[in-house]
Amino acid sequence: MHCALYTAGTCRSCQWLDKPYSQQLADKQQDLTDLLSELPVGEWCEPVTGSESAFRNKAKMVVSGSVERPLLGMLHREGTPVDLCECPLYPASFPAVFSVLKTFIARAGLTPYNVARKRGELKFLLLTESQKDGGMMLRFVLRSDAKLAQLRAALPWLQQQLPQLKVISVNIQPVHMAILEGDTEIPLTDVQRLEEDFNHVPLFIRPQSFFQTNPVVAEKLYATARDWVRASGDITSMWDLFCGVGGFGLHCATPAMKLTGIEISAEAIDCAKESAARLGLQNVEFQALDSTGFATGKGEVPDLVLVNPPRRGIGKTLCEYLGRMAPSTILYSSCNAQTMAKDLTLLTEYQIERVQLFDMFPHTAHYEVMALLRHR
């Protein structure tokens, strides 16, 4: 993939951009093989890929510059602002939207936050696009609510220019820069969730819930999980731990199966419930809880446990508990093969039947991996 910003030395976020894509894949597969070298793997499946460019559905833009001439992009470590509106990782529809947003910032008088001076109001713009219909969610991250009335007053103009903006909200982040967003979310549109569709499974994206950023590869990941579960014989009950908006569980569930989804974010759980209702699934339960707390406090043992934790992995307590409760099948999907490998060494009573790499993050060393484990 060619990136003019990379060539010019403006942005070096994609550290592997100089590496041919086939070599990137080979290196990731080698990294995974090395990490699992102590553990016998029954079958290595071919890596799954998507597009090499325009694969991200979400942009997190630091707003800098002046109110008349805002920049959307990032700040270098020493504080130099960089405009990344032409970043080729974003869909073709994004640059035109960024351009209108810059005009809007000026019209609404949303002074960009200046990190060095700790002054200004607008810190970030977060833009997400649904591949279902091109609908978009836009979030303004502001330092305070001081400019909220101004923003509201100017909003009809923006909505007229960009009717694809289905969901608009403001997030208040009073803390100095370090954290991307705060707890307070103020809706500016009646609709507060973006509709997505993966493999005919309706999914919803809400401002504060996690959603996969590479929709094409995520769709293949969920479909693969569904295929592996279907091929696992008679699965009558399943837990989807760290379920987010429910993508894995909702793909795997059948009307006859009891599905339990557990996730810490209440917003994500609301999305999962709505998807289940759309699908007409009756035998499902989604709860906003800590996954380890839920699992260790539960007496029953499902046939299958699927885990898709954050980068830190599932950890010792949950591994040991899964070892004791001994479900016949575990499906482990991870964006950090290092912590997954560590967790798998703790699941001593399981053998790894199959492993597959999903390249969600081209041009970086990161990748997603899914492993199917069977009790010995």
What is the set of active-site residues? 335
User: Comparing C-alpha atoms, which of 211, 136, 209, 215 is closest to residue 171?
Assistant: 209
CA distances from 59 to 87, 88, 142, 238 (A): 10, 11, 16, 34
Is 85 strand, coil or helix?
coil
Q: How far is the CB of 222 from ligand SF4 (least distance, A)?
A: 25
The least distance separating ligand SAM from the CB of residue 356, rounded to whole angstroms, comes to: 15
**Applying CB under 6 A, does 72 fall inside the site for ligand SF4?**
no
310 binds ligand SAM (CB under 6 A): yes
The count of chain residues that interact with ligand SAM, using the rule CB under 6 A, is 18
- Nearest residue to 131 via CA among 99, 73, 90, 175: 90
Q: Per CB under 6 A, does 360 bind ligand SF4?
A: no
CA distance 363 to 32: 16
Contact of 242 with 310, CB cutoff 8 Å? yes
Residue labelled with tokens 């696009």? 129
Q: Does 253 bind ligand SAM (CB under 6 A)?
A: no
- Edge-to-edge strands of the sheet including 329-334? 41-44, 350-358, 368-375, 329-334, 304-307, 237-241, 258-263, 284-288
What CA–CA distance (Å, rounded) separates 301 from 293? Answer: 15
DSSP states along 135-147: -EEEEEEESSSTT
**From the list ligand SF4, ligand SAM, none, partner contacted by residue 265 (C-beta under 5 to 8 A by kind):** ligand SAM
State the binding partner of 127 from ligand SAM, ligand SF4, none, CB within 5 to 8 A by kind. none
Cα distances (angstroms) measured from residue 240 to each of 206, 273, 287, 352: 19, 13, 11, 19
Minimum Å gap between C-beta 48 and ligand SAM is 15
Q: Is the Cα torsion angle 245, 309, 88, 159 positive or negative in sign?
A: positive
Least distance CB 14 / ligand SF4 (angstroms)? 3
First vs last C-alpha separation in the chain: 44
Whichever of 6 and 113 has its CB closer to ligand SF4, that residue is 6
291 lies in the binding site for ligand SAM (CB under 6 A): yes
CB of 202 to ligand SF4, least distance (A): 30
List, as residue ranges, the binding site for S-adenosyl-L-methionine: 212, 242, 263, 308
CB of 93 to ligand SF4, least distance (A): 16
Binding positions for [4Fe-4S] cluster: 3, 11, 14, 87
Pick from 87, 89, 57, 50: which is nearest to 72 by CA? 87
Q: How far is the CB of 227 from ligand SF4 (least distance, A)?
A: 32
| Token pair 């001076």 in the structure block, residue | 117
Q: Does 49 bind ligand SAM (CB under 6 A)?
A: no
The residue range among 11-19, 90-98, 174-182, 260-268 that interacts with ligand SAM, by the rule CB under 6 A, is 260-268
Q: Which stretch binds ligand SAM (CB under 6 A): 161-169, 257-265, 271-279, 359-367?
A: 257-265
Q: Is 186 in contact with 180 (CB distance < 8 Å)?
A: no
Please tell me whether residue 239 binds ligand SAM under the rule CB under 6 A: no
CA angle 194, 196, 197 (to 5 degrees): 160
- Of 236, 234, 284, 293, the closest CA to residue 264 belongs to 293
87 binds ligand SF4 (CB under 6 A): yes
Residue 88 contact among ligand SF4, ligand SAM, none, beta carbon within 5 to 8 Å by kind = ligand SF4
CB closer to ligand SF4, 93 vs 144:
93
As given in the structure block, the two tokens for residue 171 are 């997030």
Q: What number of chain residues touch ligand SF4 (CB under 6 A)?
A: 11
> Applying CB under 6 A, does 5 fall inside the site for ligand SF4?
yes
Q: Is 168 helix (H, G, I), strand (E, B) or coil?
A: strand
Select the residue interacting with ligand SF4 from 14, 32, 352, 357 (CB under 6 A).
Answer: 14
Using CB under 6 A as the binding rule, whether residue 335 contacts ligand SF4 is answered as no
Q: Does 308 bind ligand SAM (CB under 6 A)?
A: yes
Among 48, 84, 142, 243, interactor with ligand SF4 by CB under 6 A: 84
| Sites of contact with ligand SAM (CB under 6 A) | 210, 212, 242-244, 247-248, 262-265, 268, 290-291, 308-310, 335
| Sites of contact with ligand SF4 (CB under 6 A) | 3, 5-6, 11, 13-14, 17, 84, 87-89
